[in-house]
Amino acid sequence: MAPSVAEPAARERGSTADVTGVVVLGCCAAWALITAAGRESRPEGMLLALLAVAAGYACGRIGGALLPVAAPVGAALAGVALAAGTPYDLPGPAVGPAPGHTGATAAQLALAAGAACCAAWATRRPGLRLSLRLMALAVAGSALVLGSVAGCVAALVVLICSLAAGAARHRLPALAGAAVLVACAAGGSWALAEGRLPDGLVTRAEARLTEHRMLLWRDAVGLAEDHPVLGAGPDRFGDLSTTVQQTANSDGKPHSAVLKQAAEQGVPGVLLLGAAYGWVLHSLWRSERSTGVALTAGAALTVLALLSVASNALSFVQVTAAAGLLAGLAAARPLGEAGGAAAPATGSWPRVQGAFPP
């Protein structure tokens, strides 16, 4: 049977998203090496995070193609297990859980809830769909057991957004709105660090985020202003921050992905970080999966982006790998579905076009 006209077009859209991802991640790796050249910098952490994203995305694409329901269920269970059993230690002399691990726990649980909701949208069985949504609700409950209120809220937000995705007729407005929301949050964190917001808002933010974190943010902004193009160098914030030097058992992070990039890799680093998030949204927009799956994954990854604005969630390889995995699951082309490879007839092997005579 000849392939439909829509199938080649769908494959071309998917290929465009894949090529875009390769270019964006490649530029991020290259810029990390450029900003580290000639300095006592340590770009290995950035390169490891990029490798985790790429590996997770590849595994998600494969798992989502072969097991569109079971793969995200397994990812959700693994996410909860990691959040419960991983101490989130960072390399260094400090012993015990790394400070600021709350954001990483919340991110893991939000991504786990997103994976469960993606599995719910992927199945056609109403009973199983309800069970998987209850599983996402159980992820939120497990967050309370783990003592992560932020994780509970994040998982519930993902679940609510997934339910609302059923009423969406087009995915582009929702994904564009998510991008605007993250951009506003990133700009707000910068304005807050520079003290450009009203005094009352700054006071409430300091009470919520703690004065220590605000001091870290101001140190990051100062480094970004001193080195706007190349930054101070990858993983050098802890060496140059006055607040870090005066704090015992500090993890050496500014607890903000945006400000960390600005301080260590300059404005281009921030733009590349935004481009990576934009690529993920682009791949979800072009994905052949249902709108429910695409918007659910977009909601979970947007929650991760918002958490990373005010925490060091992206400093943990577990989180970056899980983010890539979820994005890959939502961008995969399941075998046997429209746009994917044709399913073989019962009792027969699939034929490769042109390999055998008719």
Separation of alpha carbons 143 and 80, rounded Å:
9
Where is pLDDT greater, at 123 or 198?
Answer: 123
Over residues 234-272, the pLDDT tens digits come to 999 999 999 998 887 778 899 999 999 999 999 999 999
pTM, 2 dp? 0.88
User: Which amino acid is it at 178?
Assistant: A
pLDDT given for residue 344 in this prediction: 39
Q: What is the mean pLDDT of residues 222-230?
A: 94
Q: Residue 91: is its pLDDT beyond 90? A: no
**Mean of all residue pLDDT scores within the chain:** 86
Q: Could you report the per-residue pLDDT of 106-162, keeping only the tens digit for each?
A: 999 999 999 999 999 999 999 999 999 999 999 999 999 999 999 999 999 999 999
DSSP character at residue 98:
P
Q: What is the mean pLDDT of residues 172-201?
A: 92
Q: The tokens 């055998």 sit on which residue?
A: 356
pLDDT(282) > 50:
yes
User: Which whole-number Å values give the CA distances from 90 to 95, 202, 314, in the listed order?
Assistant: 9, 30, 12
Residue 266 CB partners (closer than 8 Å, separation 6+): 35, 224, 227, 228, 229, 230, 231
Residue 200 — pLDDT band, cuts 50, 70, 90? confident
Instruction: Say whether pLDDT at 287 is over 50.
Output: yes
Overall average pLDDT of the 17-39 stretch: 94
Across 192-196, 203-207, 223-227, 325-329, least confident range? 203-207
Domain ranges in the chain are: 9-89+99-331
pLDDT (0 to 100) of residue 336 = 65
